[in-house]
């Protein structure tokens, strides 16, 4: 085994973590402030579902496009354009006065934010060997949870002390600062001036003997592969749950559990911290199984996915009988933990070569976004006319069904497919 001396790759993972932190911090500001803004501007829950769906519409359309652009432009330039774009779009929210104006600015936010995961997954595949890739992408994904967690106390304090408009301005400025670090520090491993030969060898471990970066693979070739559809099913059925957890859980805690905006700042961040921990553990635990028990990547990852798929319906059932705020937060934290452990966006990097991962991640994001748009409209109607109960029942079923799809379609994780020219 190659000596693992050198830690440049973990510095890259840290940058990816903070990129996702900002990505979700900016999109979560509206979720935290939704009841406040709705009360001030007389917006209904259906109005709110239209606003969130406008984000998902552009996010969905651009996800596949941004994935292809990331593969062509590279991660360095892609992230600079994306973070700059979504930071400016977030700043513009401070000017909104109507549901239509919020919808327009959410639409712009979705265009820019769509590049985060295609670029992040591609960067992880460029800088990490297969056995560490789930952890690297877990750090990328943990950043999204951290951003959602940070948003709750940060936005609450800013809104209470100043105004809800100030919350959009402050959070929007953070991304412009991140861009300075990314532009200075991100270089591909083969060109990095400080990487050691040992770390470079480690990064290349497990890659196909024949480089495939010059092999041209069309989207249609990917869509004819059952392994690709296993990856896509993981986005189609799990992504809508991600959007529900991010967009609706803060509202659920305020409207169903009676948390005030001040209490949100004190307690509502806890499930999102657990979500971040779950995404990290989703990479750490399989890596421990591989290193200490000698398990394959396939057995390690799917064992964690199965545990998460069984944990989530139990926690959803507890929510039906939650006697108070404390039990509700613990149950939601359990759902968040399982969701983080699952690691659905990691699967393409464990099956497909680097040169198609941005494209495949983008297609998955687009299909997941379409499912998300439909689910957001359904959630808005269900919450307004029925309750949250049908939503939590669907969540409890979704993970086991998706794991079955991955098992039947994608097959073994950790075995990179050798693609031929289309």
Are 148 and 260 contacting, i.e. CB atoms less than 8 angstroms apart?
A: no
pTM for the full predicted model: 0.68
pLDDT over 70 at 421, yes or no = no
Q: What percent of the chain has pLDDT over 90?
A: 11
Query: Residue 45: its pLDDT value, please?
Result: 76
Residue of 209 and 244 predicted with greater confidence: 244
Query: Residue 305: its pLDDT value, please?
Result: 93
* pLDDT band at 408; cut points 50, 70, 90: very high
Using alpha carbons only, how large is the chain's radius of gyration in Å?
Answer: 21
* pLDDT band at 214; cut points 50, 70, 90: low
Dihedral of alpha carbons 141, 412, 75, 5, sign = positive
Selection from 272, 249, 109 nearest residue 175 by Cα: 109
By CB atoms closer than 10 A (0-12, 13-18, 19+), residue 299 is middle
Q: What percent of the chain has pLDDT over 70?
A: 91
CA 230 to chain centre: 18
pLDDT over 90 at 376, yes or no = no
* C-alpha to C-alpha distance for 29 and 247, rounded to whole angstroms: 10
* pLDDT band at 265; cut points 50, 70, 90: low
pLDDT over 80 at 285, yes or no = yes
144-159 per-position pLDDT tens digit: 777 877 887 888 888 8
322-367 per-position pLDDT tens digit: 667 778 888 889 999 999 898 887 888 788 877 777 778 778 878 8
Residue of 87 and 64 predicted with greater confidence: 87
Dihedral of alpha carbons 396, 400, 406, 412, sign = positive
* C-alpha to C-alpha distance for 265 and 258, rounded to whole angstroms: 13
pLDDT over 60 at 422, yes or no = no
Mean pLDDT along residues 395-405: 93
**pLDDT mean across residues, the chain:** 81
pLDDT over 90 at 389, yes or no = no
Query: Residue 129: its pLDDT value, please?
Result: 76
Query: Residue 223: its pLDDT value, please?
Result: 81
Give the H/E segment covering residue 26: helix 8-41
Could you tell me if residue 258 is left (phi over 0), alpha (psi between -120 and 50 degrees) or otherwise beta? left
pLDDT over 60 at 211, yes or no = no
Q: CB within 8 A of 5, min separation 6: which ones?
A: 196, 198, 199
* Domains recognised in the chain with CATH numbers: 8-410 (1.20.1250.20)
pLDDT over 80 at 37, yes or no = yes
Query: Residue 398: its pLDDT value, please?
Result: 92
Q: Give the relative orientation of helices 45-73 and 8-41 as an angle to the nearest 10 degrees.
A: 150
Query: Residue 207: its pLDDT value, please?
Result: 55
89-121 per-position pLDDT tens digit: 998 998 888 888 888 899 999 889 888 888 888
Selection from 257, 207, 248, 194 nearest residue 394 by Cα: 248
């Amino acid at each position: 085994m190659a000596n693992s001396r050198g830690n440049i790759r973990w510095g890259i993972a840290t940058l990816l973590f903070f990129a996702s932190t900002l990505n979700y911090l900016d999109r979560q500001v509206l979720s935290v402030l939704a009841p406040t803004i709705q009360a001030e501007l007389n917006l209904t829950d259906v109005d709110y579902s239209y606003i969130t769906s406008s984000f998902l519409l552009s996010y969905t359309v651009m996800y596949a496009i941004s994935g292809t652009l990331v593969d062509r432009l590279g991660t360095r330039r892609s992230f600079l354009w994306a973070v700059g774009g979504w930071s400016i779009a977030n700043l513009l929210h401070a000017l909104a006065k109507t549901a239509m104006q919020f919808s327009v600015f959410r639409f712009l936010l979705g265009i820019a934010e769509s590049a985060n995961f295609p670029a992040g997954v591609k960067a992880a595949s460029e800088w990490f060997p297969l056995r560490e890739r789930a952890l690297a992408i877990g750090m990328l994904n943990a950043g999204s949870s951290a951003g959602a967690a940070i948003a709750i106390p940060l936005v609450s304090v800013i809104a209470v002390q100043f105004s809800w408009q100030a919350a959009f301005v402050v959070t929007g400025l953070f991304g412009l600062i991140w861009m300075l670090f990314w532009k200075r520090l991100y270089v591909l491993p083969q060109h990095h001036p400080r990487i050691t030969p040992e770390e470079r060898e480690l990064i290349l471990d497990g890659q196909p003997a024949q480089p495939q970066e010059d092999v041209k693979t069309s989207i249609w070739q990917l869509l004819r592969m059952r392994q690709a559809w296993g990856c896509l099913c993981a986005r189609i059925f799990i992504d809508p749950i991600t959007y529900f957890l991010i967009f609706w859980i803060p509202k659920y805690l305020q409207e169903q559990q009676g948390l005030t905006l001040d209490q949100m700042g004190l307690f509502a961040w806890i499930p999102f911290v657990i979500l971040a921990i779950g995404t990290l553990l989703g990479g750490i635990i399989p890596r421990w199984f591989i290193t200490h028990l000698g398990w394959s990547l396939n057995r390690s990852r799917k064992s964690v996915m199965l545990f998460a798929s069984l944990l989530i319906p139990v926690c959803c059932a507890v929510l039906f009988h939650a006697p108070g705020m404390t039990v509700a937060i613990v149950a939601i934290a359990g759902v968040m933990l399982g969701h983080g452990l699952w690691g659905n966006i990691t699967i393409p990097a464990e099956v497909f070569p680097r040169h198609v991962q941005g494209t495949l991640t983008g297609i998955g994001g687009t299909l997941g976004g379409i499912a998300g748009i439909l689910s957001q409209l359904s959630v808005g109607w269900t919450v307004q006319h029925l309750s949250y109960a049908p939503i939590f029942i669907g969540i409890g079923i979704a993970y086991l069904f998706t794991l079955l799809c991955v098992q039947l379609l994608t097959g073994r994780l950790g075995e990179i497919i050798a693609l031929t020219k289309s």
